[in-house]
Chain A
Amino acid sequence: MQDQTSARTPRNLDQAVVRFAGDSGDGMQLTGTEFTREAALHGNDLATFPDFPAEIRAPAGTTAGVSGYQIQFAAHEVFSAGDQPDTLVAMNPAALKVHLADLKKGGLLVVNEASFTPGDLTRAGWKSNPLTDGTVEGYRVIQVDFDKLVTLACEGMGLPAKDVQRTKNFFALGFVFWLYSRDTAREESSIRERFAKRPDLAEANRRAFKAGYYYGETTEAADAPYQIAPARLQPGTYRNVMGSTALALGLIAAARQSGLRLFFGSYPITPASDVLHELAKHRQFGVTTFQAEDEIAAVTAAIGASFGGALGATASSGPGVALKTEAIGLALMIELPLVIVVAQRGGPSTGLPTKTEQSDLFQAVYGRNGESPVPVLATRSPADCFDACIEASRIAIEYRTPVILLSDGAIGTGSEPWKLPDLEALPRIDAKLRTDPEGFQPYDRDPETLARPWAVPGTKGLEHRVGGLEKDATTGNVSYDAQNHERMVRTRAEKVQRVARTYPPTEVAGDPDGDVLVISWGGTYGSVTQALIDARAAGMRVGHVHLRYIHPLPLDLLTVAARYRNVLVPELNLGQLRLHLRGQLGMETVGLNKVQGKPFHVAEVRSAIEKLAPRAKEIA
């Protein structure tokens, strides 16, 4: 017995993908984030993909109620949460049913065998027990009776059995900590903090966690445990950050950099609500959050605040943005700054609220009445949300225009290590509020940006009226003049076009010319980047442009694309960026399209690249 418990030397791995899956009530998101925090503190690079059902509590034990959390962590740079888990923890038969197919062949499967009762199996739709009928053949299965082991661990505490059973997720966490040789002390203090108000639950969860860890030490899992060295990340101070948190922090930073107050109007909607939740905590920065009666009120209140000289911002997802559409038109007509964060989710209509998709590009770029151009940007990853918000705000403020920032559900709920920025190095945004009444005309324009003056109430001598009716090109008074209307339509379009003059040169990753240029945007950044690395390692000549600026498109994009034989545009929609590229630039591209509410697998992108790029050795 004592021989078995003596620590085995961990095997070194470069990276691993772990997925925790269980019932919505099993605490899988918490388990995942706890493991993620430890991986971050350990110094691994990482990316995560939480995947949960729209229902808060779907019927227990059914596949509809399965909630999952995947993390890829590595000793090197990581771009995506990984295609296939190396380790799958399945808390019940339903979780196994939903996720088994994704597990790598030969991967490690950890299951709570206590939950494989006939009733549980039926609820999950298994005809026979997958643990015994050959279904799990080809995987390395670790079957543990979680129920019994947590009961033993908590023996003598006098806790109700119900509370004891709730610690099962920490048992699973403990086991995975052992599996990847993680630091248990840090987690134990985190558990104590989390349950500070209930020391008895803290102790029960701590015991369950340790029991899971010790179970690992005594188990006969082939070649385990593993260890994954810290990644050689760029020197700096890091924290792990979720996309929605970074969006909120980015808005606060943008307000600070421009010397404006932040007013954030929002109406709860998945997956945008977390931006509201985060901002609401930080009132000390002069952040006003307003939970409006609906999305229309949320955005129009933000417009009112902008008129008053604040940075007006709002966040929503597709259905809510549909409601904001008319107001965005007003903001572009009265030419005031407004930032609209769009956390895309599966559509149309209510669609797939908790699943990710990129199908709101058309809505953002083209979805308004009239000739109504609006700059549209996209964020590519959780940490990138911070910079993207500052850039969106810069454009909104400098050009006096609504700006749409596209994010998505996977970015918002996903997390990654974030190299904390040097505040001194953040760009300054000059709001240039007009104060001089001399020669003031509300629709006079800056010759370079075509921005009109931002004259806010309280400024003597600048009293003026704005509104959604067409404006006279200088005075801003209502004008029905035919020539003036055309001039204004063209001026508004030109103003938005000129935003492209301020873009940095388009960055190309990979080969500067070759067979394939991959043009992607938004949350596919990670999978595409990894696919490109793989494809180039296999000898293909491929470049990658990941677009920050969706509208207007970068001026040098056509020139860059001309250096490649093919352009591949992978998107989680039916080809919206493709059509946009064709319409705006006449660019012919090949699409890779997936609309399953899930991110791309690296392999899917790689094989699309392969189809367009002959391998070097094949050419030779």
Chain B
Amino acid sequence: MPTDSTPTTEAATSTDPAPRIEFEDVEKKFGKTTVLKDLNFTIGRGERVTLIGPSGSGKTTILRLLMTLEDLTDGYIWVDGDPLTHDRRDGKRVELKPKQIAQVRKRIGMVFQQFNLFPNMSVLDNITEAPIHVLGQSKDEAKENALTLLDRVGLRNRADAHPTQLSGGQQQRVAIARALAMDPEILLLDEVTSALDPELVGDVLGVLEDVAETTDITMLIVTHEMQFARDVSQRVMMFDGGQIVEEAPPEEMFTRPKNERTQKFLEAII
């Protein structure tokens, strides 16, 4: 669909910009199992969307496809109108070269359930590694940015610590700072509090609420924290079997779900 390369900067003022994210006829198979089929949706610029649905409904797969951690079996994913992994040329589906993929991928960041900090690096180095070696920032610049971000997640005094010396909640806040240091347009959050002890969840969600309030980063959130979803997202998409079965603003979705499967799912988790 979108083939012209519109400028990728904040385009709120430009006329009819391409959506930030578009899934077009996306299909994903693992071996012979089809996990996603004919999936179509768009996410607007700066929009924050929560994905809910039973385990195995394909939420993680959607995020991983966007992060290029999984190969798309068929279809297209567009980011600001640019092809992510496959382009359409003369009606044909063409795989992009790794260099081209890397260009678009830079606009996307992800925070994982298991944090995935680099244990061989200090907290500070975890955050500055990519800005220095991917964005070409100077060491000083990257360090200054990193310290500002650490301030924001309340961990400036742990800059020299190693990840193994931190609690899970602290590690996850560092992982958030690390993703933000790349100045992403899109942030993917996959059950970022699911691996945490309950008493540590609040701090992490607090940081994310702050990010949602103070930036216009487009966010795709998979979470079981319904209050959080309500607070930060403008739209909730309910998935089942790789399909969107219902979507609505959170108040509506959580108080008056229309679809029977949504009702059952929400009853089960609340």
Do A and B associate with each other?
no
